[in-house]
Amino acid sequence: MTIASSNRNASDSFVGKSYQFRPYFIQAIKGTPGRYFALGATSFKRGYYASHPVKDSKGRIIGVVVIKDDLDVEEVHMVKYPYSFVVDPNGIIFMSGKKDMNFKSLWPVGRETQLALLKSKQFGTKEFEAVLPREVADGTEIMFDGNNYLVSRKVINSEGWSIVLMTTTERVLIYKTAGVIITILMCALVVVPLIINYKTSIMAEKVSESEMRFRMLFQNITSGFALHEIILNDDGQPCNYRFLEVNPAFEKLTDLKTGELIGQTVLEVMPGTEPHWIESYGRVAMTGNPISFDNYSSSLGRHYECLAYSPRRGQFAVLFTDITDRKKMEDQILALSITDQLTGLHNRRGFLSLAGQQLKLSDRNKNGMLLFFADLDLLKQINDTLGHEEGDKALIEASNIFRETFRTSDIIARLGGDEFAILVIGADEANSGIFIARLQQMIDIWNNKENRKYRLSISMGCSYYDPENACSIDELIARADKLMYEQKQSRKITKA
């Protein structure tokens, strides 16, 4: 079954059609490149088909990719020689200098052979009208259309394909005949020696063999696969879907059993399925446009990476893999990138990102916020006299004090060095004193503990974010920093 093609949006799209009867498909599914000349089953244009097996990471064949090249351009070289032909072993004209000769037989073809060729659809479905009364060989003289012709026939491959040139005896010149043969041969040698012509009986065997291979592929691929039909409501909108077929990997990745799925709808099996899954799959089934995405299924508690396509209108198939572990790792990496490793608080990057989001929410909901900018006093003195290990402990102590002072919903961060910032969500300007008093109370409790080597001191400034008079987070920090610096200077003067 074709699942993707370059003309997927055209009226003669290959998607949804089966070409498993074509020899190039049969050869590729056996593991070797396939090559074939034939009339297109959908486009009805002559073409050269080159196929190749598609394999997964373990080297197993999971499909076939095919490239078709139209041959009209190649035939242009033959127009100068009206009675030049490229014929198959049975004499069927595939390319010629006169288009009306194509798909006739150059000499009579037996009835049995005609029926076999018509069944294969290699050259279309019309019977092959004979041009000449008998088969010709190289050097044959023949009467045709009231004139005498000398026939040059060169077999170009082991399958018996030939180039035939008919020249009137009055104009036969050895150098011209040789030149024509060479010209046509150079054109044909690119592709004609690659032609493989299978007999009908062998093709039937290969079709059966390919079906068995696809069934084995379906059973053994590690990705989950499921085929469904979409269910519409009275308004013609997708509201549910039904399971038609699943593979063993589907069971492994979802912990759902085939016997419990086939014929059932997703809302019968998983009532908590989110609407966005049904809506996304519904668009694929109704429009035929494939999609790929990753999303979380709350019903299964897993993250999945999905590819969905429509084999026919009203149906969709899904190929998916479980990426839950990858998502967890990505979340861990993100958490590390926004976390200060020493204190466990947010770092500058994390604070600016979260604070920016809160500013947008504040503007929308018209809720004020407080931003506290704090500095751990005398950190340099602690490092110089007691060592940097003790200085790190002082930073950790200050972080714990901030956690005890502020709420879990507030954003607390160490911006770097001895600087901290706290964004208090949904607070009025009048509440700043409450938080400052509580902070000092926590500092006093910490300093009154036994065996203290130093006293903690934290200078702090506070600025208010008014959604009616919006500003940037940098402006908010700058105002609080200025007030913090003024407090720190006043403490130095007092001590002096």
Give the chain's residues under pLDDT 50: 496
Look at residue 164 and tell me if it is in a domain.
yes
Instruction: Specify whether the backbone of 199 is left (phi greater than 0), alpha (psi in -120 to 50) or beta.
Output: beta
Look at residue 94 and tell me if it is in a domain.
yes
CATH of the domain at 122: 3.30.450.20
Residues 386, 415: one domain? Answer: yes
- Residue 177 pLDDT: 59
Q: Count of domains in the chain?
A: 3
Q: Which residues pair with 297 in a beta bridge?
A: 302
Look at residue 229 and tell me if it is in a domain.
yes
Residues 353, 415: one domain? Answer: yes
Residues 485, 343: one domain? Answer: yes
- Residue 450 pLDDT: 84
Look at residue 174 and tell me if it is in a domain.
yes
- Residue 197 pLDDT: 52
Residues 93, 141: one domain? Answer: yes
Residues 173, 248: one domain? Answer: no
- Residue 495 pLDDT: 57
Residues 94, 129: one domain? Answer: yes
Whether 476 and 461 have beta carbons less than 8 Å apart is answered as no
- For 300, the 3-state DSSP assignment is coil
Q: What is the pLDDT of residues 294-319, one digit of tens each?
A: 877 777 788 888 889 999 999 999 88
Look at residue 473 and tell me if it is in a domain.
yes
Residues 377, 487: one domain? Answer: yes
CB neighbours (10 Å) of residue 271? 9
Whether 90 and 107 have beta carbons less than 8 Å apart is answered as no
Look at residue 6 and tell me if it is in a domain.
no
Residues 238, 116: one domain? Answer: no
Residues 93, 233: one domain? Answer: no
CATH of the domain at 465: 3.30.70.270
Look at residue 313 and tell me if it is in a domain.
yes
Residues 418, 485: one domain? Answer: yes
Boundary of a domain, candidates 277, 293, 326? 326
Which among 86, 110, 108 is positioned nearest to 96, based on CA atoms?
86
Cα-based distances in Å from 453 to 75, 87, 363, 390: 95, 100, 46, 9
Residues 348, 489: one domain? Answer: yes
Boundary of a domain, candidates 189, 213, 230? 189
Boundary of a domain, candidates 326, 352, 385? 326
Which domain, by its residues, includes 406?
A: 338-495
Q: What is the pLDDT of residues 203-246, one digit of tens each?
A: 656 656 656 665 666 666 778 888 999 999 999 899 999 999 88
- Residue 210 pLDDT: 59
- Residue 232 pLDDT: 93
324 half-sphere exposure, CB direction, 13 A CA radius: 10
Look at residue 194 and tell me if it is in a domain.
no
Which among 188, 170, 206, 201 is positioned nearest to 22, based on CA atoms?
206
Q: For the chain, what's the residue count?
A: 496
Residues 179, 225: one domain? Answer: no
